[in-house]
A = this chain, B = another copy of it.
Amino acid sequence: MNTKRRDSDPERRDFLYALAGAAVGGTIGSHASSPRGKEQPQSQEGEFALGDLQLQSGTTLRKAKLAYKTHGRLNAVKSNVILYPTQYAAQHTDVEWIIGPGRALDSDKYFIIVLDQLGNGVSSSPSNTPPPQDRIRFPTITIRDDIAAQYRLVTEGFGIRRIALVTGYSMGAQQAFQWAASHPDMVERIAPFCGTAKTTPHNAVFLEGLRAALTADAAWMKGDYRDQPVQGLRAFARVYAGWGFSQQFYKQEVYRQMGFVSLEDCLTGFWEKRYMRRDANNLLSMLRTWQLNDLGATSGFGGNLDRALSTIKAKATVMAGQTDLYFPPVDIEAEAARIPGARFRVIPSLWGHMAGAGLNSTDSRFIEDEIRALLAA
């Protein structure tokens, strides 16, 4: 397994060491000392070299890499694994609200692998891939490509054969569905929240608006910018603002709970901050992945979404945000009904799609309680 450290944080232990410990099996899972007399680190960033990655599109992504971060310790029998793929525009450090001792993804009990989606800026992405696959020339990635890459890390990298849970928010939910459909005998449970197994046409139109707004900026230069297209990114963020929270969220000024004092303050301090820090081509790459997502296109299902959903063996709790504007409950419920024995739950929230983003304790508690119940089942 090829790994390398992603930064020089002196407090971060050597991942190769931790991984070596995990690989010998049977000694790492306890809280006692490791074979080398050191305690296994509680969390660890890493990067898995995928080599040349064959993509669904027929293209090969050269020297591909998958970034991730682990939390907790892999137990002796490797039965305590949770996979948690990142959502749109997020990196592994952005999604940790649900992880930790006592949280739903309890790092005292589970070995949690946060998986960075391709295109997110730390895994292979337009922004970090060398020519000739750099920038706008970065190939189209599908959710199935993500899961293929993640599968290699999990099996080749960690030698894991059973997964207790795959959970994820939004495009992370899309990846959870794909894990369950692609590896039905490996995945014991899934808890996708605020996402669908197939991107709906309206959702794709919403995304198309984001794309059009970003690329309307001539500074985007058809993807070959030197400096980020700031006006385009700002427009992207402001278009997103209308979709991310619900109508009533804004009407009732719920953003005040986040410390924003006005609508404009929320647009600037939340939405612009959220997206203007990102690379434009990365945002466009992930957007395309999202638009294209279709679980039914998984090999063997002949484009039949219902059939793909029906083959899922994992115990499933599927959640939707009550006021989500682009993954509305009705779409999520219809898919959940096709998964044998799936439990469908609506998060009672005014936070729209952001109900699943870990931004408020009420919604987060709801999601965490459901995940805890699923893990106990």
| A interface with B by C-beta (< 8 Å) | 200-206, 208-219, 231-232, 234-235, 237-243, 245-251, 253, 263, 267, 325-326, 328, 330-331
Q: Are B241 and A209 in contact (CB under 8 A)?
A: yes
Q: Are B218 and A235 in contact (CB under 8 A)?
A: no
The chain B residue sitting closest to A246, CB to CB, is: B202
As for how many copies of this chain the complex holds, the number is: 2
- In whole angstroms, how far apart are the Cα atoms of A325 and B324 in the complex? 11
Q: Given A209-B241, A241-B205 in contact, is the A250-B200 Cβ separation under 8 Å?
A: yes
- In whole angstroms, how far apart are the Cα atoms of A328 and B246 in the complex? 11
From the candidates B205, B246, B267, name the one contacting A250 in the complex (CB within 8 A): B205
- In whole angstroms, how far apart are the Cα atoms of A326 and B213 in the complex? 19
Nearest 9 pairs of A and B residues by beta carbon: A209-B239, A212-B238, A216-B235, A212-B235, A213-B213, A201-B250, A202-B250, A202-B247, A206-B242
What is the distance, in angstroms, from A177's C-beta to the closest C-beta of chain B?
18
From the candidates B209, B238, B242, name the one contacting A202 in the complex (CB within 8 A): B242
From the candidates B216, B219, B267, B331, name the one contacting A234 in the complex (CB within 8 A): B216
**Which residues of chain B have C-beta atoms less than 8 A from A208's C-beta?**
238, 241-242, 267
**Which residues of chain B have C-beta atoms less than 8 A from A249's C-beta?**
202
- In whole angstroms, how far apart are the Cα atoms of A331 and B250 in the complex? 12
Most central of A210, A235, A331 by chain B CB within 10 Å: A235
From the candidates B200, B215, B241, B247, name the one contacting A200 in the complex (CB within 8 A): B247
Q: Are B213 and A209 in contact (CB under 8 A)?
A: yes
Q: Are A247 and B212 in contact (CB under 8 A)?
A: no
Q: Given A242-B206, A247-B328 in contact, is the A212-B212 Cβ separation under 8 Å?
A: no
- In whole angstroms, how far apart are the Cα atoms of A214 and B212 in the complex? 10
What is the distance, in angstroms, from A253's C-beta to the closest C-beta of chain B?
7
Q: Are A267 and B235 in contact (CB under 8 A)?
A: no
**Which residues of chain B have C-beta atoms less than 8 A from A211's C-beta?**
238
Q: Given A200-B250, A217-B216, A267-B208 in contact, is the A242-B243 Cβ separation under 8 Å?
A: yes
Q: Are A212 and B234 in contact (CB under 8 A)?
A: yes
Q: Are B331 and A201 in contact (CB under 8 A)?
A: no
The chain B residue sitting closest to A249, CB to CB, is: B202
**Which residues of chain B have C-beta atoms less than 8 A from A325's C-beta?**
247, 325
From the candidates B219, B231, B246, B331, name the one contacting A247 in the complex (CB within 8 A): B331
Q: Are A201 and B251 in contact (CB under 8 A)?
A: yes
Q: Are B231 and A209 in contact (CB under 8 A)?
A: no
Q: Are B202 and A218 in contact (CB under 8 A)?
A: no
Q: Are B250 and A231 in contact (CB under 8 A)?
A: no
What is the distance, in angstroms, from A217's C-beta to the closest C-beta of chain B?
5
The chain B residue sitting closest to A232, CB to CB, is: B216
Most central of A203, A246, A247, A249 by chain B CB within 10 Å: A247
**Which residues of chain B have C-beta atoms less than 8 A from A243's C-beta?**
242
**Which residues of chain B have C-beta atoms less than 8 A from A216's C-beta?**
213-214, 216-217, 231-232, 234-235
What is the distance, in angstroms, from A120's C-beta to the closest C-beta of chain B?
23
- In whole angstroms, how far apart are the Cα atoms of A237 and B209 in the complex? 8
